[in-house]
Structure 1
Amino acid sequence: MRLDVLNSGYARKTKVLFGVIRLFSGRPLPDAAKLVFYRPDFYGARAKEFTHEAMRGPSDWSVGDRELMAAYVSKVNGSAFCIGAHSATASRAYQDGQLVASVLDDLETAPVGEALRETLRMLGKLTRDGKVGADDMRNVLAAGATPRQVRDALAVCAAFNITDRLADAFGFELLDQEGFDAGARYLLKRGYR
């Protein structure tokens, strides 16, 4: 059930900003962006900063890798909006939509390096089961991921386990492919702030 707060729970100044964005972009603001403007002191400002750092901060994972992690975690959670948004963004970052589709279709046969594959397996297990063990971490490290890459991947996983749940709780409206592509261009240019 879609909560009406995403349509009307904003101060006048914020509503004007939404109108200006729509005027210049030709599209309404996606619900994910609207959510961070609702109670920014409680959620929005902190969520934007945490997500931006996880997705665009210094990391040995590429932007495409981290966007793929977000899409993969979202797929495990079954969050249609986030799958669409982050699949489009990963596809643009990699310039390879087939790669992204193959990972989301079948991780085991997808043409990715073993460090990324094992990291995605671990993130999937953590998302599904709510926990991972020492053996899972040993497998990721043995596949070639560094401890810093593990930490960075866990930050992406945390950000999108929260976002996926909010997307479902608030009933984010799905965009058409053109809308997801526009969002991907924005996220690659400006990040999550």
Structure 2
Amino acid sequence: MRLPSLSRSWRFSDRVKLKIIRIASGRPPADILRILHYRREFFGEPFTEWVHRVLRGPSEWSIGERELMASFVSHLNQCRFCEGSHAAVVEVTLGPELTRAVLADWRTAPLRPGLRAAFALLEVLTLKPGEVGPELVEAAYDAGVTERGVRDVIHICGIFCTINRVADAVDFAVPDEKGLRGDAYQLLKRGYAIK
């Protein structure tokens, strides 16, 4: 359901920023930017600070690996917007072959043991959170993932289980390939914080 208020209810500074994005990119701002700037002090700013810290802050996982996790959770949740947006970043950083392999079947994808354990944890956290137990975390530790690495995986799952539902609830438009690629380069250059 498209919300009409998301098309007109921003602060003046946010309207100017969105207009600049439209002029610079030659296309309307992505729906995610519109929702993050709508009364941003209540959702956009705290949410994007969390996302930026988890996806761009210090981590044992590379930026590409964290983006791959984001795309994977979004794939499991059937959120085409988030899956495509984050897969585009992965394709720039790790290559399209790995993205396709993981989204087709992470169990057979060419992943190092720690990353494979992370995807096992992500799958259960996303699809059957009530079944998460210490054995999944222990398996990650046994594969060389640190406690901080496990926390990052859990945060990524929480972030994308949240925004996937927002994206689908307000019917985010999915950009074409050129738009996804352009957005991917911007995400790599600027990160996620909107302040």
Shorter-chain TM band: over 0.9
Shift in Å at residue 140 of structure 1? 1.3
Residue in 1 aligned with 2:22?
A: 22
Shift in Å at residue 2 of structure 1? 1.9
Which aligned pairs between 1:113-152 and structure 2 lie closer than 5 A? 113-131=112-130, 132-152=132-152
Cα deviation 1:122-149 (Å, max 9, x = unaligned): 1111111124111111111112211111
Residue in 2 aligned with 1:58?
A: 58
SS of residue matched to 2:42: helix
* Separation in structure 2 between the aligned mates of residue 69 and residue 6 of structure 1, nearest angstrom: 28
Cα deviation 1:19-48 (Å, max 9, x = unaligned): 111111212111111111011111111011
Query: Retained in 2: the 8 A contact 1:52–1:191?
Result: yes
Q: CA RMSD in A?
A: 1.1
Using the size of structure 1 for normalisation, the TM-score is 0.95
* Overall identity of the aligned pairs, in %: 39
* Separation in structure 2 between the aligned mates of residue 136 and residue 13 of structure 1, nearest angstrom: 46
Which aligned pairs between 1:1-193 and structure 2 lie closer than 5 A? 1-94=1-94, 96-131=95-130, 132-193=132-193
* Separation in structure 1 between the aligned mates of residue 31 and residue 153 of structure 2, nearest angstrom: 25
* Separation in structure 1 between the aligned mates of residue 4 and residue 142 of structure 2, nearest angstrom: 48
* Separation in structure 2 between the aligned mates of residue 121 and residue 36 of structure 1, nearest angstrom: 30
* Separation in structure 1 between the aligned mates of residue 16 and residue 121 of structure 2, nearest angstrom: 43
Unpaired segments ≥5 residues, structure 2 = none
Residue-pair matches, total: 192
The residue identity in structure 1 corresponding to 2:126 is: T
* Separation in structure 2 between the aligned mates of residue 9 and residue 54 of structure 1, nearest angstrom: 29
Using the size of structure 2 for normalisation, the TM-score is 0.94
* Separation in structure 2 between the aligned mates of residue 115 and residue 5 of structure 1, nearest angstrom: 44
Cα deviation 1:55-100 (Å, max 9, x = unaligned): 0010010000000000000011110000000000111121x11111
Query: Retained in 2: the 8 A contact 1:54–1:159?
Result: no
Shift in Å at residue 112 of structure 1? 0.9
* Separation in structure 2 between the aligned mates of residue 13 and residue 163 of structure 1, nearest angstrom: 24
* Separation in structure 1 between the aligned mates of residue 7 and residue 184 of structure 2, nearest angstrom: 22
SS of residue matched to 1:144: coil
Unpaired segments ≥5 residues, structure 1 = none
